[in-house]
Amino acid sequence: MTPTRFPLSRRVFLQRCAALAATTGLPAWFIERSLSAAEVPPAPRSANDRPGMLLVGCGGMGRGDANNARRFGEVVAVCDVDEGHVEAAAKQFTQDGKTPAKFRDFRRALEHPGVDVVINATPDHWHTLINLAAVRAGKDVYAEKPLTLTLDEGRRLVTAVRERRAVLQTGTQQRSDNRFRLACELVRNGRLGRLQQILVYLPAGLRGGPFAPSPVPPGLDWDFYLGQAPKVDYVKERCHTTFRYWLDYSGGTITDWGAHHLDIARWALGQDGPLTVSGKVLAEPVPGGYTAISEYEVTYTWAGGVRLVARTTTDDNIFGGVVNKEGQRHGLRFEGTEGWLWVTRGDIDASRDEIISAPLPEGAERLEASADHMGNFFACVRSRKAPVASVEVGHRSASVCHLATIALRLRRPLTWDPVREQFTGEGAAEANAHVARDMRRPYDYSFIA
């Protein structure tokens, strides 16, 4: 029997908007439009109308993503190269006496019957091969950020997703945060006048070492974990939660938090990528330790003359003295000819109240509304529409991060062509050599052929 729906009266709807405005600090006009525009994730039509999910990468982030996704589907299989992670995930997602199938090789896991959706929460250097294999197997994918390890991987993945007409949502969940969307809409519609500069604040990374090799822990397939990266002895700091501080597997905080905040900067600008990039190393890596630069300043220029500066902050080094909240170590500050706007998770502020409080006019540019990132993904799995953080979005925003890592490694200014997606001008040959990486066999593209 279909339940009866009772539409809200206009008065009740406005009362609800006012209540949300009071609790979130967002303007009522924006909440009203957001509630009207956001696509509500569809409820399952029946017990059988719930996609089967495969979780690949069963660490804390992966299990958190899968637990969030359980609102919309069932975890039928789990996969990790670490047996302890597999067992923990299988225990967590056992339901009604049914334990998910357990795998160590994602290729075999993709063959498991009942898998419709893949949640990929592996370290960065495994993202692309697993995403490609899943798409080729006819699965839709929720892919953790950054979407790729290299620029070339992103181009390959975009092509594959479009050819197979798969749904891929990048896990840059700030695209489904009302504060960030409001900030981007205000910037795009000229609320700050002519945009001049964006300051992006990112936490400093880890700077430590040297680290000594140790025996591989029982249950960990170290060679499989390394994958396409160079073969090295096991060092516990290279594995699991601290993988991102090694260039073999990630890019440090510029591809971690940068994947979130640089994505928002790009969303506000409405451009594919910058025209130039330069990097300044503020703290050298310790020999024998983490290889990703822990403290840095990266400067981009974009079409229209907008300058974007991404800089790490530490407890005693708040970037430029302009962070709005004491101790706030990450977020974005947009500066224009008529004021500034600050946004981070849980907070939005401006130089004048009316920058935020005054409604945008009719006909203003609006951005796609989503208030539930995982829900948006599953709504698109059903509708076959592109999600709010599609493969193109994930690739282009990850590219901004990868440009920074290349500039920091080469320590020179570089010119980028966002249309052809290649470096040009002085230093182009050396920089373009970093667009792709050599992949250690057998963990190259033939691994999923």
CATH number at residue 185: 3.30.360.10
397 touches 180 (CB < 8 A): no
What SS3 class is residue 265? Answer: helix
List, in order, residues 6 or more apart from 441 with CB less than 8 Å away.
none
Integer Cα distance of 87 and 79 in angstroms: 9
Total domain count, the chain: 1
Closest CA to 56 of 108, 133, 130: 130
Does the residue 351 lie in any domain?
A: yes
d(CA 439, CA 315): 38
Is residue 289 one of the residues assigned to a domain? yes
Indicate whether 98 belongs to any domain.
Answer: no
d(CA 15, CA 38): 18
**59, 211 in Cβ contact below 8 A?**
no
Output the 3-class SS for 51-118: CEEEEECCCHHHHHHHHHHCCCCEEEEEECCEHHHHHHHHHHCCECCECCEEECCHHHHCCCCCCCEE
Residue 269 in domain: yes
What is the spatial distance between Cα 379 and Cα 373, in angstroms, rounded to a whole number? 10
Phi, psi (degrees; rounded to nearest 5) at 339: 140, 180
Task: Decide if 94 is inside a domain.
Answer: no
Q: Which pLDDT value is given to residue 7?
A: 54
The count of C-alpha atoms lying within 13 angstroms of the C-alpha of 319, restricted to the half-sphere facing its C-beta, is 25
The CA distance from 355 to 193, in Å, is 10
Amino acid at residue number 394: G
Instruction: Please give the helix or strand (H or E) that residue 331 lies within, else none.
Output: strand 331-336
Paired residues of 142 in beta bridges: 119, 169
Phi, psi of 445 (to 5 degrees): -65, -20
Integer Cα distance of 384 and 413 in angstroms: 41
Confirm whether 309 is domain-assigned.
yes
State residue 34's pLDDT score. 78
Which regions of the chain are under pLDDT 70?
A: 1-24, 36-48, 315-329
Domain membership of residue 350 (yes or no) is: yes
Chain centre distance of CA 123 = 13
Q: Could you tell me the residue range of the domain that residue 209 belongs to?
A: 178-221+249-366+395-434
Give a yes or no: residue 284 inside a domain: yes
| Contact in structure between 88 and 80 (CB atoms under 8 Å) | no
Q: In degrees to the nearest 10, what's the CA dihedral of 229, 292, 200, 311?
A: -160
Only one residue has tokens 């029946």, namely 46
pTM more than 0.95 = no
444: three-class secondary structure by DSSP: coil
Per-residue pLDDT at 45: 57
